[in-house]
Chain A
């Protein structure tokens, strides 16, 4: 027969719980619904990476979009990212199969999504069905810096049209390609009435792109370039300006984004490469002695910003083992201090140092301090940090795009807060131990537990055996100092008699027989 535990209506139970500050929902669920599902792991200690003067705190992961993610393009100067996603027409619950990596995509829907990190919302900006008759291509979205707009290259191709040369895939009709400008304010994608260029170069730190074209009748797509246009973030486009004969754009502009850098054809007998700067405003050509070191484009500038962050996201193999001897290799994603960016904030930029080779064995690398690295996910694929270091993006095993928000704080403040939290945890654990001893004593005719093995003896009264550990080190930190086994009534001053100690950060919690707990700093 099961006698009702409290023998009382609920309200007494829940009011009591509220009074002592126990998580009502968690407690209730743990005792009822979650009998088949133990309490989940959201309660783990906060994850953080100490990176010099700054510490990065990790928030809870958010799923941004399901499989399949084809491209992710974070805004270089804002809280947005554009995501290209394909939703294949696969029946729910289909057997697993290899991702169809071959293009074109023709069996589902292609979407361009906008993620707003501040509102945590993902909205569809553009979508198109692809089927057996029509394939859809979406190029990597690229942002116009400082404008809140991005450029998309989109192509559609008829798969069932008349094939001039027969049935070979080589003879399919020419795809229809177009540029779209997407605007985060209007959350709209607008098609531009201009032909797609052979090469586009997004200017670094400036809201325009340079579109380079080949001669209309050129068959040699690798070498012939004829002209360029300037495309503004508002969709305006300049008249074509000629490129020097034989010049090839290298995909970059000068650091001030005033000129396009091109490689000039070698003269007969000349061994070194020649370069020139073509002014984007009027096409004026200036010869250059060498390739300018600071030539760049928007994407390169963004990647440099990411590389300069004090932390970096890495994915690499890790080994999972458990007590039963099971062993499995997984691909873990970590956030760790970026060795290449350890210079203090505000220091002048220095040339990018080669990062440490994370694939090297442990013995070949500088030791990593435990608080300089934290696990983001044990099985995923690292994508990137956002350029402002506000979020880490990775893919789950199933291809879902996940975002982990990152919050920066000063390391000194973090360490202080962490120490205080660990101290509070030590006191709380000590209190639980004290209550466990008292409950044991009440159940055993007021006799204290024996001195040896007290951890195991009072374990049934505790929520977790982790309470005996030092929260700072994770190592066992409890010491029972009473002789043990004697009647509690013989202790004359329970409030002044020490039952035991629990080690914590910079001191220890002192547990008294009457159940109260105090803190004692280390001498």
Chain B
């Protein structure tokens, strides 16, 4: 009975198909029932004593995603996205054009649930300049910070000037995006503020600089600056003044709550050479300690993350590739994204055919989550997609996939 009922509903389809002249059917890929194209076999990558099983990619968001920042811990990623009003972009070089019509969005992706949420948005038009000055996760934290500057523009696209000829002030802010709550907290800044992110603690330092002279050699030496600690909960500490001219360099120490600053001065004539005096500053009490020489600063967050990923058994690699149409011979340059076994010291990973798996033939902006649970990449159209990765003991993977490990 069930067989017949299926036939009842499918009879139309069958009749219509039979009627179609063969040429139309032959070259019009009209599918009555479209099955998703799936890889012939589950793809796996063997590395050390583990096998990594590659899942089916899923769209995260887009277009156009401009930046992807995986969280240092946990399954989240911070995304920066432009949503153009008109998706058709005939001609031109879009990457060299300012985004002038649409919405700028800050999004949060949760790799565990697969959900993406917009945590902050702002309309952008030809008369508004929106600039992302910095975006990163606070160290060892579930909070990310995005530093933004918005400025009004004139009709010619240059900064808008008031009747007095001075530039109309813009808006400056830092967003603190909490991955757990999926919220964004906005903190106003001024055009004199610079935000420095600590690579060792979940905090940032807001440096406010007031130049005493706008131009001239005395600029650096005469600068007056102060620091405020910005914590992941959005609160800020008291203002800590710096010695005059000591804002030339600011770096974090491996010691918590400590930053290094440097002051430049000139040796007395006739040498008249520049020299740097280094200080250590305790952010908790403002105590300033002169240092005998240049201190060793903490590694930047990016370096730490890169070092962490280098120790993992697999890595994500984008390489210039060439796609050749088997029917016409037409070639198209692509950017292929591969998941590879991390080569051992002195080993040429490219030589082994089972050392890699194709993630996508044309993608960019690749990122591997620190816990290796997913690979993220951007498509040609700026759509962000995620490929889940499942870690299995080598033996167990064969049972799961029914096939031995290999590309």
Q: How far is the CB of B25 from chain A (nearest CB, A)?
A: 8
| Bound: A94/B57 CA distance, A | 12
Q: How far is the CB of B118 from chain A (nearest CB, A)?
A: 16
Given contacts A9-B191, A355-B23, A383-B30, contact A23 B99 (CB under 8 A): yes
A24, A313, A352 interface centre (most CB from chain B within 10 Å): A24
Given contacts A4-B249, A397-B56, A399-B37, contact A40 B364 (CB under 8 A): yes
Given contacts A18-B151, A383-B30, A397-B38, contact A42 B64 (CB under 8 A): yes
Complex contact B30–A4 (CB within 8 A): no
**Closest 10 CB pairs between A and B?**
A399-B36, A43-B95, A251-B15, A59-B88, A33-B135, A324-B350, A378-B361, A322-B321, A11-B191, A37-B365
Residue from A48, A68, A418 within 8 A of B36 (CB atoms): A68
Q: How far is the CB of A216 from chain B (nearest CB, A)?
A: 14
Binary per-residue interface labels of chain A (241-273) against chain B in the complex, 1 for a CB within 8 Å, 0 otherwise: 000000001111000000000000000000000
**Chain B, range 2-18, C-beta contacts under 8 Å to A:** 2-13, 15-16, 18
Binary per-residue interface labels of chain B (42-54) against chain A in the complex, 1 for a CB within 8 Å, 0 otherwise: 1000000000011
**Interfacial chain A residues near B365, Cβ < 8 Å:** 34, 37-40
Complex contact A320–B65 (CB within 8 A): no
Binary per-residue interface labels of chain B (191-233) against chain A in the complex, 1 for a CB within 8 Å, 0 otherwise: 1111000000000000001010000000110000000000000
Complex contact A14–B149 (CB within 8 A): yes
Complex contact B325–A334 (CB within 8 A): yes
**Interfacial chain A residues near B129, Cβ < 8 Å:** 14, 18, 24
Complex contact A170–B1 (CB within 8 A): yes
**Interfacial chain B residues near A384, Cβ < 8 Å:** 28-31
| Bound: A318/B63 CA distance, A | 26
Can you list 6 A-B contacts with CB-CB less than 8 angstroms, sorted by A residue number?
A8-B211, A28-B132, A95-B400, A172-B1, A303-B20, A398-B56
CB of B33 within 8 A of chain A?
yes
**Interfacial chain B residues near A66, Cβ < 8 Å:** 58-59
CB of B323 within 8 A of chain A?
yes
Q: Which of A96-104, A453-461, A476-484, A511-519 is the contact stretch?
A: A96-104
CB of B388 within 8 A of chain A?
yes
**Chain A, range 113-158, C-beta contacts under 8 Å to B:** 120, 137, 139-140, 142, 153, 155, 157
CB of A417 within 8 A of chain B?
yes
Q: How far is the CB of B101 from chain A (nearest CB, A)?
A: 13
**Interfacial chain B residues near A33, Cβ < 8 Å:** 67, 69, 80, 132, 134-136, 146
**Interfacial chain B residues near A318, Cβ < 8 Å:** 323-326
| Bound: A409/B88 CA distance, A | 13
Complex contact B91–A57 (CB within 8 A): yes
CB of B180 within 8 A of chain A?
no
Complex contact A170–B3 (CB within 8 A): yes
| Bound: A367/B132 CA distance, A | 47
Complex contact A60–B87 (CB within 8 A): yes
Knowing that A46-B91, A63-B62, A381-B36 touch, tell me 7 more A-B residue pairs with CB under 8 angstroms. Answer: A4-B250, A21-B98, A22-B98, A300-B24, A314-B27, A381-B34, A383-B34
B5, B158, B332 interface centre (most CB from chain A within 10 Å): B5
A15, A40, A325 interface centre (most CB from chain B within 10 Å): A40
**Chain B, range 166-181, C-beta contacts under 8 Å to A:** 167, 170, 172
**Interfacial chain A residues near B306, Cβ < 8 Å:** 36
| Bound: A338/B359 CA distance, A | 32
Complex contact B34–A395 (CB within 8 A): yes
Binary per-residue interface labels of chain A (381-409) against chain B in the complex, 1 for a CB within 8 Å, 0 otherwise: 11110000000000111111100010101
Query: Chain B, interface size: which category?
Result: 35 or more
**Interfacial chain A residues near B55, Cβ < 8 Å:** 93-96
Given contacts A34-B67, A199-B12, A326-B336, contact A46 B36 (CB under 8 A): no
Residue from A312, A316, A328 within 8 A of B325 (CB atoms): A316
CB of B246 within 8 A of chain A?
no
**Interfacial chain B residues near A7, Cβ < 8 Å:** 219-220, 248
| Bound: A326/B335 CA distance, A | 13
User: Which partner residue on chain A sits nearest B157 by CB separation?
Assistant: A21
Q: How far is the CB of B76 from chain A (nearest CB, A)?
A: 14
| Bound: A9/B2 CA distance, A | 73
Q: Which of A184-192, A358-366, A437-445, A486-494 is the contact stretch?
A: A358-366
Complex contact A29–B80 (CB within 8 A): yes
**Interfacial chain A residues near B28, Cβ < 8 Å:** 303, 306-307, 312, 384
Q: How far is the CB of A365 from chain B (nearest CB, A)?
A: 7
Q: How far is the CB of B38 from chain A (nearest CB, A)?
A: 6
Given contacts A99-B36, A355-B27, contact A1 B381 (CB under 8 A): no
**Interfacial chain B residues near A104, Cβ < 8 Å:** 2, 6
Residue from A250, A320, A399 within 8 A of B334 (CB atoms): A320
**Interfacial chain A residues near B380, Cβ < 8 Å:** 41-42, 44, 61, 377
Residue from B63, B131, B278 within 8 A of A25 (CB atoms): B131
User: Which partner residue on chain A sits nearest B16 by CB separation?
Assistant: A299
Complex contact B104–A375 (CB within 8 A): no
**Interfacial chain A residues near B381, Cβ < 8 Å:** 42, 60-61
Given contacts A9-B193, A362-B329, contact A101 B35 (CB under 8 A): yes
Given contacts A328-B361, A353-B23, A396-B57, contact A322 B336 (CB under 8 A): yes
Residue from A201, A354, A365 within 8 A of B328 (CB atoms): A365
Complex contact A62–B87 (CB within 8 A): yes
Complex contact B157–A18 (CB within 8 A): yes
**Interfacial chain A residues near B364, Cβ < 8 Å:** 38-41
Complex contact A40–B378 (CB within 8 A): yes
Given contacts A29-B67, A352-B24, contact A24 B130 (CB under 8 A): yes
**Interfacial chain A residues near B35, Cβ < 8 Å:** 68, 99, 101, 399
Complex contact A43–B94 (CB within 8 A): yes
Complex contact A36–B23 (CB within 8 A): no
Residue from B58, B96, B133, B251 within 8 A of A10 (CB atoms): B133
**Interfacial chain A residues near B307, Cβ < 8 Å:** none
| Bound: A195/B360 CA distance, A | 48
Complex contact B135–A29 (CB within 8 A): yes
Complex contact A381–B37 (CB within 8 A): yes
Residue from A19, A177, A249, A326 within 8 A of B159 (CB atoms): A19
**Interfacial chain B residues near A101, Cβ < 8 Å:** 35
Complex contact A43–B30 (CB within 8 A): no
Complex contact B382–A40 (CB within 8 A): yes
| Bound: A372/B394 CA distance, A | 48
Complex contact A175–B5 (CB within 8 A): yes
Q: How far is the CB of B104 from chain A (nearest CB, A)?
A: 7
Given contacts A303-B30, A405-B88, contact A37 B63 (CB under 8 A): no
CB of A473 within 8 A of chain B?
no
Complex contact B132–A373 (CB within 8 A): no
Residue from A23, A72, A375 within 8 A of B332 (CB atoms): A375
**Interfacial chain B residues near A10, Cβ < 8 Å:** 133, 149, 172, 191, 193-194
Complex contact B2–A170 (CB within 8 A): yes
Q: How far is the CB of A90 from chain B (nearest CB, A)?
A: 10
Binary per-residue interface labels of chain A (308-334) against chain B in the complex, 1 for a CB within 8 Å, 0 otherwise: 000011111111111111101011101
